[in-house]
Structures are given as structure tokens and as C-alpha cells.
Structure 1
């Protein structure tokens, strides 16, 4: 792991993402890029017009100019806060770069994520206190669009000691196995390997578990293995809580949007219900 990308909006969750980024950087000596994206949609004339009524085009232009000034001030605040958080957590200033872009986060992310080994972003954003059971509005779109592993951080930073891999035999879960086997911070943790019975027979679940266990053992890791039963989301979330897991790894959004529209997404439900960081792989 050489490069870590942290997405921030200045919220409390972004602060915790910086702490996790600092912790990982200290384990790996990775450099950190902090990215703040100003949403370009707030500068569009129709949005301003809806807000200001029929004032004419000149007031619109004045308001847009003022919005740009406010955003520049906010960017400076976000930068100052992020750099202070990282440096206070022990990251050298020479390892940190800050970037401010204007656009849509999902589109801007593609340029920055390509050179990152890990992407960090908070589970919720600026409106977390007003929508405590909802995920950030851009979170799902980012997770679906970025090929790099994405660590979705929780409300309060805790050093990572125990991780669990929710394994389903898919290609994304295989990526998760390879990732922890090749990155030292994860190799030093206690590893739990879990498979849920729902959706396939118990003997199939056991076979998948054995295959994943063999992969990890070949890399010098010896996980604690567990077959769970019941509804996938509930069983995994309960195990994470009962086993005091610090980090959950899973394959993200393995089904089509149409299927998820009808029966829901396991990834989204686990992100919502688990109180620990979730490392997602596509």
C-alpha cells in the first residue's frame, strides 16, 4: 500500500476517515491525498432561480459569485482541519497533499482513485445528524464506480485488531482475500472468515469456507472460520458485534440494480447496520 486517498467534506465522519487514514499510513508509510469536491450543481442557474424567485439574471450572477467565495472559504477550512488532524495523528506533512476540485464527486473520483491503493470515505456526510439511519447521498454511487478497495469509515476511530471477511465465493471476495494477504497492516490482525448458509446448502457453504481458508493458509494466515445461518445481513451484523470485530470486508454490490430494487442490497444493509468500518471490493 503506497497511496491512500481520503474523501472529505469537513464533516465529523470525514474527521474519523482522516484518523483511519493516518493509522494506516503509519503502518505502511503510504502517502495520503485528501480530496474535497465542491458540488457544481449548487452553482447552476436553475437551482439559484428556484431559491431566489424572479429577481432577474444579474442578481443570479451575484449570488453565484458569492457562493463561489463561500465555497473557497469552506475549502480552506476543510484543508486546514484535515491537515491538522493528520499531522496531530503522526503523519509527516511531506506525506500529505490536499486537492480541491469542482464537479461531481463520482466523476472527479475516477481521476484520483486510479492512482490510489485504497480509498477512504465516511459512511455519512454533512447531514449525518439529520439523517442518522441514512448513508451519504454519494456513497453508493462511489462504491459502484471505483475499482479500488473502498474503506467506509464509522463514527468513531478505533485501532484495527480483528477483521472479518464475509465470503460468498465471488470474484470480489477473492480480491479481498488477496488484498489482506499482501498488505501488512491486515496480515497482523486476527482474521475471521465467515460464510452464511442462506441462499445455498450448508455443504456448499462449508466447501466455500474451506476453499477460502486454504487460500489464506497458503499466504501464512490462519483464520477463525464460522458458518452462519439465517438472513445474511442480520447474521453477519450480529457476528460482527458479538465477536467484537473491528473491520468487515465484503464484496460490494454483486447483483444487478433491478434485483436490488426488488429485494434490497446486502451491501447497503451491512453498511447501514454495522458499527465498524467496512472495506468493500468490486
Structure 2
């Protein structure tokens, strides 16, 4: 992973993402593209239709001119906001040791525009929520959910508060995405030297298939230089993973974005979505 795409809106969640990117990019020797998208809807003002029948021709022309001027002023303010947000991101990333930062400003809708830059990126980083975080505290950000569904690259979803990354948890279910995480751990320097936990959740502890999957994951992790702490715990995946994170003071969760039976192109897997909602640590999703 040599190219990271960081999506920002300047919110408090974005501020946390800068710190995680500053930690991860040097470990990968990666450059970071910072993308800020001005929502095109924020530049639209009231309808500039024909008001002459209601308020008279002269008044209608004056109102239209005022609306056009207001739209120009909004565009200028959005441009200034974008520059400030991007400059702040660049400063924080550079101070954090990122070797190369490129700033990108676009106008439109993030979920549509990010695809243009995703192609040349190896990893997407974005905050769990955005500017409206204080007004919908029980929900995930709409852009985050859409990007997690649509992206073909691994996504690091960051929480509100930054904490040092010391202990990793791989929630392993034997899926294709789970294997991709093991491959990443084997080939990437990102997490070398950190404590790795591998957790498999099954319906019962005597599940031979789950035991075999966990053993295989342990073998691969050991071959990559880790000394993993492996656990098979019965129960509900969301509850077990949350409890394990709390009990073991886990600082980063790695998991597949989808399970075996998910409608892959329409929804995030239910376990994934629940973990993103409840977790106070970053989550690295693989598809």
C-alpha cells in the first residue's frame, strides 16, 4: 500500500483520521491524497424561476439578481472553506511524518467523485461520521456507509477520538475477505511488531469447521512473524466482538465488510454495520 486516499470534511471525526493516517502512512512509506468535496447542494439558493406574475417584472428582476449574487458568494465561501480544511489537513499530516501530501478539491457529491481517485489508491481513510455528527449521534455517516458499500479497496473507518494503536483484533470467519486480511498481514509492514488477536465466533465451541479455520489463520499469522492470541468463542458475533474489544483493550479491529450470505452490492453486512456503530476504535474493512 503506497497510496492512501483520505476523504475529509474538516469535522472532528476528520481530525481524528489525520492522526491515524499520520501513524499509518509512514509505516507503509505511503503518500496521501486528501480529498475535500464541496457539496453542490450547499451552493444552491432559492429557485430563480420567473416571479414576474406574482411580484411584478421590476421586482422579479431585482430578486433574480440578488439570488445570483448570493449564489456567487456561497461559491466563494465554499472555496475558502475548502482551502482552510485542506491546508489544515496538510499541516497535520506533514507534522505527523507523512512524506508526501496532495490536496484535491472537487465540487459535487463525495460518493460519486471518490471513485475517480479510488482507482489509483490502495487504501481509503475516512471518519465514521461527518459534519452532522452532533445531530445524529446514533447513526453512521451517510457518505461513510455509501463508500464502504461501493469501494473496491480496503477502508479504514476512524472514530471520534484517536488512541495509539498497540493491539489488533482480526475477526475471522474464514471468508474470502478474511483471507485477504491475512494476506495483508503477511505482506505489509503496517502492523509488524504489534500484538495480534484472532477471534472466531461460532454457534458452539465444538464447531470443528470453525476450529480448523482458526487454526489455519493462526498458522498463517505465525508464518508472517506474529505470535497471535487465538480464541474461539460461542455467541452472537456483534456481542462477542464488542466484549472482546473491551476486555482486551483492543485498539484496531480488522474484519471483512461482508459475510458469506450478504447481498454484497446493496448492504454492509449486519455484523459489520453494528460494529461500526458501536465501536470506539478504528475499523479496517476488507472486501
Q: Fold match, TM over 0.5?
A: yes
1:87 matched to 2:94? The reply is: yes
- Aligned to 1:138, the other structure's residue is in SS state helix
Ranges in structure 1 where 5+ consecutive residues have no aligned partner: none
Q: Which residue of 2 aligns with 1:153?
A: 158
- Per the TM alignment, residue 28 of structure 1 is displaced from its structure 2 partner at its CA by 2.6
Question: CA contact under 8 A between 2:9 and 2:36: conserved in structure 1?
Answer: yes
For 1:17-28, list aligned pairs within 5 A. 17-28=17-28
* Greater gyration radius: 2
After superposition, residues 74-223 of structure 1 pair within 5 angstroms as 74-92=81-99, 95-198=100-203, 202-223=207-228
Mind listing any 5+ residue stretches in structure 2 that lack a counterpart? 55-59
State whether structure 2 residue 71 is matched by structure 1 residue 64. Answer: yes
Render the CA deviation track for 1:49-84: whole Å, top value 9, x for unaligned: 39xx99765444333222211110110110121112
Structure 1 residues 74 and 277, CA gap change in structure 2 (3 angstroms): same
1 CA distance for matches of 2:43 and 2:243? 44
Q: Provide the secondary structure at the position in 1 that maps to 2:112.
A: helix
- 1:250 pairs with one of 227, 249, 255: 255
Taking structure 1 as the reference length, the TM-score comes to: 0.89
Q: CA deviation at 1:183?
A: 1.2
Rounded Cα–Cα distance in structure 2 between residues aligned with 1:260 and 1:29 = 33
Scaled by the length of structure 2, what TM-score is found?
0.87
The CA deviation at 1:200 is 9.9
Residue by residue, what CA displacement relative to the aligned partner does 1:80-118 show, whole Å, maximum 9, x if unpaired? Answer: 2111211232334xx111000112211211121111121
Question: What is the aligned partner in structure 2 of residue 37 from structure 1?
Answer: 37
Q: What secondary structure is seen at the aligned counterpart in 1 of 2:97?
A: coil
- Per the alignment, do residues 208 and 57 of structure 1 end up closer, same or farther by CA in structure 2, a change over 3 Å counting? farther
